[in-house]
Amino acid sequence: MSSESLNSPIPPSTGENITQKSLLIFDLDGTLIDSVPDLADAVNAMLTALGKANFSEDVIRNWVGNGGKVLVQRALSGSQTIDPNLTEDDTNQALALFFDYYHQNTCVRTQPYAGVGEGLRQLKEQGYTLAIATNKPIDFVPAIVEKLGWQALFAYILGGDSLPAKKPDPMPLLHVCDKLGFSIAQSYMIGDSKNDILAGQNAGMDTLGLSYGYNYGQDIRDYHPTQTFDDFATLTEFLSHARV
């Protein structure tokens, strides 16, 4: 699909007219699922193979959210801030080890957050169209969706490498709207991190923030989503009331 066919950004609405919303675009990691346990295992397996010290799951949790390459670079740097002396060869060698392990253990300890499975099914039954726009490489996403039994719930799934740009660029959200035939005004971007909220804002789309996910220790409210929720059940209730 050419970029010319994508919808042009428009100013977001105030959030008052939620009855017009029909398309829900969800982030994946940190929004629908807690994948950090498996990501942490893959990071530490990579570090062990390289003869480097491992890190706790809590430390690695703060490095997640900008894709596999950045996660690996942070692990090699031992910090949220990437070591400027890290070479491309170092990164690529480590990334290959990380992806090899994660391919074999993509959804071992990954779990949906409380209320997500039930909430997604309820929203689907109420007539919403559901989609995923994640920065996770697309190769890993189908195995997770299948293991969790969510194949029938989503009309479209987009990975971080499916297009030339990923969130916070608006391209993935505009592409999903175009692919499924919805306007920006009919859509919500729903996520846990600044990348999700900024992508929605850059597209002129209303955003729903979730406070429990991966946002580098920052309050998602600092990025001014249209609405913010502390759990998925409350989000589901909010969206369900719009269908009554």
pLDDT at residue 8 tops 90: no
Domains of the chain: 21-33+110-241 (3.40.50.1000), 35-103 (1.10.150.240)
Q: Is 178 left (phi over 0), alpha (psi -120 to 50) or beta?
A: alpha
Q: Please tell me the pTM assigned to this model.
A: 0.88
Q: Output the pLDDT for position 6.
A: 31
Tell whether 29 is in a known binding site.
yes
Tell whether 192 is in a known binding site.
yes
Q: Output the pLDDT for position 9.
A: 35
Q: pLDDT tens, 163-215?
A: 999 999 999 999 999 999 999 999 999 999 999 999 999 999 999 999 999 88
Catalytic (active-site) positions? 27
Rounded Cα distance between 231 and 101, Å, is 31
Helices of type H across 11-106: 36-49, 57-61, 68-77, 88-104
Q: Output the pLDDT for position 244.
A: 61
Mean of all residue pLDDT scores within the chain: 91
